[in-house]
Chain A
Amino acid sequence: AQSVTQLGSHVSVSEGALVLLRCNYSSSVPPYLFWYVQYPNQGLQLLLKYTTGATLVKGINGFEAEFKKSETSFHLTKPSAHMSDAAEYFCAVTYPTAGNQFYFGTGTSLTVIP
């Protein structure tokens, strides 16, 4: 069965520090991978996605992620955290045969400490 695992339900970083949010998927079928951010009482907003091509993808707000097939991972990073980055982050995966149905991880809540 397809699944997505986000290690660390809560991550705290200091303002200006590196942000690293982890995502691993389990499937033998090549996936399409996404990171979404959710602010309180708002819908999910796409940060970035990987479908094909370059494995390092850049998204909005300075975030980027690298698809590593050998590690079945798609970790999200940002070199320098900003207070406005505090939110819930979700990794999602879909597959060519899945009708674009998304499978989401359980989310990681990011706290930025001033």
Chain B
Amino acid sequence: DTGVSQNPRHKITKRGQNVTFRCDPISEHNRLYWYRQTLGQGPEFLTYFQNEAQLEKSRLLSDRFSAERPKGSFSTLEIQRTEQGDSAMYLCASSLGQRGAEQFFGPGTRLTVL
């Protein structure tokens, strides 16, 4: 297994456009997480899935943000009507389900909103 992968690695978009990012977790991991990282800050938790169920989404930044994991494998994060403040690195991580399990991170998708 090659680890967590994310696509695209970079996305440049104009304000108001919708964007979608994809995350492919490590195959045997049932938990998948999305984080946002801005310059000079640590990753900020957004949402997570256990299999296909989204168990926590109250930390999504606004109703313009949504995430899916339809078959319990890959996940997508969508941002509608992007704003310049959405410019950041979006990180995906996956883990096994036990308490204290380490999270394995992907390389991230860097979003620039013009």
Do A100 and B108 contact each other (CB < 8 Å), given the known contacts A34-B102, A51-B100? no
B43 touches A104 (CB 8 A): yes
Is B45 in contact with chain A by the CB < 8 A criterion? Answer: yes
Is B33 in contact with chain A by the CB < 8 A criterion? Answer: yes
The count of residues in chain B whose C-beta lies closer than 8 Å to any C-beta of chain A is: 28
Do A106 and B102 contact each other (CB < 8 Å), given the known contacts A43-B4, A100-B95? no
Proximity bits, A82-100, B CB within 8 Å = 1, else 0: 0000000010101010011
Query: Which of B42, B100, B102 sits near A107, CB closer than 8 Å?
Result: B42
CB distance from A51 to the nearest CB of B (A): 4
Is A44 in contact with chain B by the CB < 8 A criterion? Answer: yes
Query: Which of A44, A51, A94, A105 sits near B105, CB closer than 8 Å?
Result: A44
Is A18 in contact with chain B by the CB < 8 A criterion? Answer: no
Is B40 in contact with chain A by the CB < 8 A criterion? Answer: yes
Q: How large is the interface on A (under 10, 10 to 19, 20 to 34, 35 or more residues)?
A: 20 to 34
B43 contacts across to A, CB distance below 8 A: 44, 90, 102, 104
Interface contacts (Cβ under 8 Å), in number, total 67
B99 contacts across to A, CB distance below 8 A: 32, 51, 96, 100
Q: How far is the CA of A44 from the CA of B106 in the complex (A)?
A: 8
Do A43 and B108 contact each other (CB < 8 Å), given the known contacts A49-B102, A100-B95, A102-B103? yes
The chain B residues found within 8 Å of chain A, CB to CB, are 4, 31, 33, 35, 40-45, 48, 50, 55-56, 91, 93, 95, 97, 99-108
